[in-house]
Amino acid sequence: MTAGRPPKFESPEVLDEAFVQWQATFSEGGVRKDEIPDVEGFCDFVGAWRDILNEYEKKPEFSVTVKKIRNWIYYKKKQLAMQNKMNPAIFIFDAKNNAGYVDKTEQDVNHSGEVQFVNDVPRPTKPQQG
């Protein structure tokens, strides 16, 4: 007999079915149609903590399903932000802090003009031996 809590989800299919049921609550006429989906909301729906979902994501057999859930959440949030139904700045902040999004950094290293080298830096003198 093993000790500890029984698994929250017996299989990836059970987790996926819970996700499908949760997704349906955001449809027109759904109880969450006016809410913005997030991981915590899904966890609340299934009676789990966010940490539990994070642990399931580390299990190879559940990884694809958890990534599918996270992807759908950010797909919906992005759509809401682009339709001004969610503050775009909040979406960007959330995506950077919780979904691994990063700003693209560009640097222009082109130079036009003249380059002049100056070689008149004072050099230390050797101490005189005497």
User: What confidence tens digit (pLDDT) does each residue in 73-93 have?
Assistant: 999 999 999 999 999 999 999
The pLDDT tens digits of the residues spanning 59-68 come to 999 999 999 9
> Hey, where are the domains in the chain?
38-101
Burial of 77 (C-beta count, 10 Å sphere; 0-12/13-18/19+)? buried
What's the confidence (pLDDT) of residue 102? 87
What's the confidence (pLDDT) of residue 55? 94
What's the confidence (pLDDT) of residue 1? 47
Burial of 62 (C-beta count, 10 Å sphere; 0-12/13-18/19+)? buried
Extract the residue ranges of the chain whose pLDDT is less than 50: 1
What's the confidence (pLDDT) of residue 13? 96
Output DSSP code: residue 21: H
Strand, coil or helix: what is 31? coil
What's the confidence (pLDDT) of residue 39? 94
